[in-house]
Amino acid sequence: MKLSVYPLNLDLKTTFRVSHGASDQRRNALVKIEHDGMVGYGEAAAVFYYGDTQESLSAYLNGLPPLGNDPFALEAMLNALPEGPHAARAAVDIALHDLWGKLLGQPLYKLFGLTPAPLPQTSFTVGMDAPEAMAARVKELNYPIIKVKLGADEAEACVAAIRKVSAARLRVDANAAWSPDQALDLIARLAPYDLELIEQPLASGNAEAYRWLKNELDQRGIRTPIFIDESAQDSRDAARHAGAVDGVVVKLMKTGGLREALRAIHTARAHGMKVMLSCMIESSLGVTAAAHLAPLCDQLDLDGPLLVANDPFDGLRYDGAAPSLPDRPGIGVLPRQTL
C-alpha cells in the first residue's frame, strides 16, 4: 500500500470565532492510500488549540513506516502507528476504512451493520460575537438547531438576545472558558432559556471539577445537560467522566479515527452517557467518514462542510438540517476535481 500526503486548504464562508481564537482559513492535510488500483482518502484537521499545523501533521504522515500489504488488517496497522497527533492518525484510519469499503464494494455504514436513515438533525454553529450580531445571525440562518460559541463575558446577554428572535433548539459551547464558580453561576442564569446542552464549560483534564459542578447543579435542581468535548479525547476519557457529566462529544480528530470513535461511543453508552457526534472544521471527506457512525449517536453537530466555501469533496448531503449519507462504497466521497 502506498500512502501520500497533500495540503487540503479550506476557505471559510465567514470568519469563525471561538474562545480560543479566530480564523478564516483552515489548512488541513489529505491522505491517499493506494492499493490494487483503489484509492482510500483520509483527512487530518489542523486544530490550532491542539498545537497541530498542516506542516506538523504532514511531517508525521510523511515519516510513517510502510503500512504493509494487507488492507484488511486494520487493527494491526493502526496499532503499529507511532505515537503522534491524533488528527494525523485519524487521516490514516479514515483512508484505510475508505479503502476497506471500496475493496468490499459496500458503504461503511453497512459494514458496521447500521441503518443510515433517518439520522438525527445536525446543529449549525454560530461563532462568538456581540449579542445583537449573534442574534441577527441566528435569525438569518433560521436553522432548527443552533450551537453557539460563548466566552464568559456577555454569555447571558448573548443567549437572551438569541432567545428573543429564535425558538431553535439551542446548544452552548464554552470551549473550556469558564472557571468552576463562573460555570455554576452562568449555568444557573442560563437555565430559564431552555438550553438543550452546555458543552465543555470547564477546562479539560479535571474530571473532579466536573463532578463537583454536577453535584452543585443537582443540589440546585438545575438539569441542563453537561457534555464534555476537549475533556473527552478517547474511550478512556469517557470512562473517567462517568457520573460527572451527561454526555460526551465524539470527533474522529480527537479519537484518532473511526475505530477508537466506535470504542468511545460504546464506552459512553456503557456508562449511561449520551453521545453527540461532531467534527472540527473539515471538508466533506472527514465529516462524511464520521457520519457513518451517526446512527449510533443521540445528537449530531456535523456542520463542518457547511462552513467551508471550497469543499474539495462531494459527500454528506444536507436537506436543511437533515444529513443523508451517500450510498457509494467506502466513505462514499468523490473528489470534485483531480486531487
- The site for Mg ion (CB under 5 A) is made up of 173, 199, 229
In the complex with Mg ion, the residue whose CB is nearer, 94 or 172, is: 172
- Closest separation in Å from C-beta 209 to Mg ion: 17
Within 83-149, strands assigned E span 124-126, 145-149
- Whether 43 and 73 have beta carbons less than 8 Å apart is answered as no
Query: Which residue spans within the chain are E strands per DSSP?
Result: 2-18, 21-35, 38-44, 124-126, 145-149, 169-173, 195-199, 226-228, 247-250, 274-278, 299-301, 313-314, 317-319, 322-324, 334-335
Minimal distance in Å, beta carbon 148 to Mg ion? 11
Which residue in the shown chain puts its C-beta closest to Mg ion? 229
The nearest distance, CB 279 to Mg ion, in angstroms, is: 10
Which set of grid coordinates corresponds to residue 310?
Answer: 471550497
304: amino acid identity, one letter: G
Query: Residue 264 CB, nearest distance to Mg ion (Å)?
Result: 15
Which residue from 27, 24, 31 is spatially nearest to 5, judged by alpha carbons? 31
CB within 8 Å of 319: residues ≥ 6 apart: none
CB-CB neighbours of 65 under 10 Å: 8
CB 259 within 8 A of CB 93: yes
Closest distance of CB 175 from Mg ion, Å? 6
List % helix, strand, coil for the chain (3-state, nearest 5): 40, 25, 35
- Smallest distance from Mg ion to CB 200, Å: 5
Q: Give the nearer residue to Mg ion in terms of CB position, either 97 or 241.
A: 241
In the complex, the smallest distance separating the C-beta of residue 101 from Mg ion, rounded to whole angstroms, is 28
Smallest distance from Mg ion to CB 173, Å: 4
Nearer residue to Mg ion within complex by CB, 209 or 331 = 209
Cβ contact 281:149 at 8 Å? no
Closer to Mg ion by CB, 98 or 173: give it. Answer: 173
Q: Which is nearer to Mg ion, 1 or 158 (CB)?
A: 158
Q: In this complex, which beta carbon is closest to Mg ion, that of residue 196 or of residue 199?
A: 199
Which one, 202 or 331, has the nearer CB to Mg ion? 202
User: What pairs with residue 124 in β-bridges?
Assistant: 146
| CA–CA gap between residue 264 and residue 268 (Å, rounded) | 6
Q: Cβ of residue 188: shortest distance to Mg ion, in angstroms? A: 21
- By C-beta, is 95 or 306 nearer to Mg ion? 306
Which residue lies nearer to Mg ion by CB, 93 or 173?
173
**What gap in Å lies between CA 33 and CA 67, rounded to an integer?**
9
What is the distance, to the nearest Å, from the Cα of residue 28 to the centroid of all Cα atoms in its chain? 15
Q: Give the contacts of 51 (CB within 8 A, at least 6 positions apart).
A: none
SS3 38: strand
